[in-house]
Amino acid sequence: MNRRLFRLLAPALLLPLAAALALPTAVRFANAPAVAGQGGGVVPGRGGPMGVAPEDPTAVELLQLSDGRLLWAELVEGTDAGLELRRLDQGGRVTLPWRMLAPAVERDLRLRYGLLDIDSEELFVTAQRVPLVGGRDTIGLIVERTDEALHLKTAGSLLVLPLTRISGGATDIEVPAREIFTRDELYQSRLADWTEALSEGGAKAAKAHESLALFSEQLYDFVRALEHWRAASELGLERADLSSRLAQAERKAAVQEQVDQLDAIDTLRARGKYAEAKLGLDSFLTRYPRSPLLEDRAKLATKVEKDLGRALDKLVPQRWHFWTQRLIRDAARTRGYQESLTWLDEGLSEEVVANVVEEVQELAPGLGAADVRARWAARPKGRPHSATYGNATWLLGPEKARAGLADPEAEKPEEAGEKDAERNAIEERVKRYLKNQEQASRSSNTSADPEDMELIWKDFGSNVRAQWMLAYYAENGGDMKLERVGFANCRTCGGVGVLEVLSTGSAASGADSGTRLTPCPLCRQVGLVRRVHYR
């Protein structure tokens, strides 16, 4: 847009905006003379002076609004509520909400007034995660090992862990430095690195103050950061964002107590104490309802919620699998066969959820069973688990035990030469035998003389029972996602389901010699061991 066209269109652009903002119809332009024919700057039908050049054009800036329109205004002050503008006609002030400015303009002005946090990289150190008995762990820096305990340093304390409470080896992990060292410990350590440069003065000292100022910001120590930025500025440090850094440090140093409280809340978040962090956020809002750090608090609240969500997404599946195995292992020691089947179908799922709900209360008080089930259902795909029916596969019955097994006839390759007659004869005999046994089972009244399933179940042993129950629950309980089913041949009959017994005959009894087929005593003619893979 050229200068002449801008002069003609400027009143049309600015008058609707002035009405929307309750600004006076008299808006002064920087370096813009009155439009010809307006009679000394009066807009016909409006009654207000337009286009009168300000006495000090350098005090007026052209602002772009979020809808694309332009506004000339004298800037007075930037606050959390918005940008205060000078009303040029009356000398009064109008607060323009930040959201009404174009994003780039808003950012520049917030930086200018120190109202926008300048991102600084958080300081991390290497510490150790130590697993504890019971499935929990603790994080700290191992400073000493003895025959009886580990000594872990954390910020402001030294934790002594007896070896009897430790369930495994420690692993290295990157954590925020403020979890391990106090603010003063970290600052004094960095100050020692720059002592010589500070004593030399000049450009080296300016760089030292710059480094210490940035480091202090990482520690959320804005009082020290302000001191170093001021010293660096006085020594002639050239940095594009120096004024913005100074403004931010001044704003936060004035409320260092509030900064420290937010920092303490952030430390609780980093340590996984989300419930305490939420209480701290609520307390901050109650104590400082008009704090200039409300935006910082809002960002921290969002971070707490995101971290809590990630922690729950990890914890719920982990504890669900833990309690599934734990409850089944306990039940396998005491429950009979029929009682176990009923419990697996009706009671186990509810008990697992109840235990998981109880455990997550430490992270998220008030989280209910429906929330736990929703997070379990939406769990990410992780490493698969497996369980086997083992030698008790036959309890499922032949049809269920073989469900998902590929048809051997369909996979049998074409034979190039003459078939093995003897082998085929054996296979045919086995097929006829199994068919006859199945027919006999259907024809007989098995209820008249049933097998004592409770005794058979008890003879399997608790470990076999636990694996069978876990496999059954994973495949039929409805809570797990079945990945695949695997099969292995019975180790006694080789997958045939029967054994071929050689008889030498007996002259006394008159029995003939030869071979006969008998059911496999291990797999009960099923011939397979079924394994399920689930998550």
pLDDT in tens, 235-250: 999 888 888 889 888 9
The pLDDT value recorded for residue 231 is 93
Domain 124-181 has CATH 3.40.1370.10: no
Alpha carbon distance 357, 319 (integer Å): 10
Residue 145 and residue 329: Cα distance in Å, rounded? 36
pLDDT at 428 (0 to 100):
53
Amino acid in position 119: D
Cα dihedral across residues 305, 308, 313, 316: positive or negative = negative
Each residue's pLDDT tens digit, 438-487 = 444 443 433 434 457 888 888 888 899 999 999 999 999 889 999 999 99
Nearest C-alpha neighbor of 17 from the set 82, 101, 92, 89: 101
Angstrom distance (rounded) from CA 535 to CA 533 = 7
Separation between Cα atoms, residue 385 and residue 260, nearest integer Å: 45
CA–CA dist 134, 151 (Å, integer): 20
CA nearest neighbour of 500 among 397, 443, 428, 409: 428
Token pair belonging to 382: 């992780």
Two tokens, residue 90: 């009356």
41 vs 26: CA distance, rounded Å: 9
pLDDT at 48: 30
Residue 263 exposure: Cα atoms within 13 Å on the Cβ side: 21
pLDDT of residue 493: 80
User: How many degrees, rounded to 5, is the angle at CA 282 between CA 276 and CA 283?
Assistant: 85
Query: Cα-flanking dihedrals φ and ψ of residue 263, to 5°?
Result: -65, -40
DSSP code, position 260: H
Closest to 277 (Cα-Cα) out of 297, 257, 291, 258? 297
**Per-residue model confidence (pLDDT) at position 509:** 53
pTM, whole model, 2 decimals?
Answer: 0.60
**Pairwise CA distance, residues 532 & 530, whole Å:** 7
pLDDT of residue 13: 40
How are beta strands 514-519 and 157-162 bridged, if at all? unpaired
Which residues in the chain show pLDDT less than 50?
1-54, 57, 410-411, 416-417, 419, 429-430, 432-450
Concatenating the DSSP letter of every residue in 83-106 gives EEEE-TTTS-EEEEEGGGB-HHHH
pLDDT digits (tens, 9 = 90+) for 155-183: 778 889 899 888 888 888 878 787 788 88
Confidence at residue 281, expressed as pLDDT on a 0 to 100 scale = 93
Output the pLDDT for position 90: 61
Beta bridge partners of 61: 73
Instruction: For the chain, give every domain's residue range.
Output: 3-112, 124-181, 307-383, 388-410+423-439+452-534
Residue type, 4: R
Cα 123 from Cα 79, distance rounded (Å):
30
> Nearest Cα to 21, choosing from 76, 69, 77, 79?
69
| Amino acid making up residue 340 | S
- The answer to whether residues 490 and 402 touch, using CB atoms and an 8 Å cutoff, is no
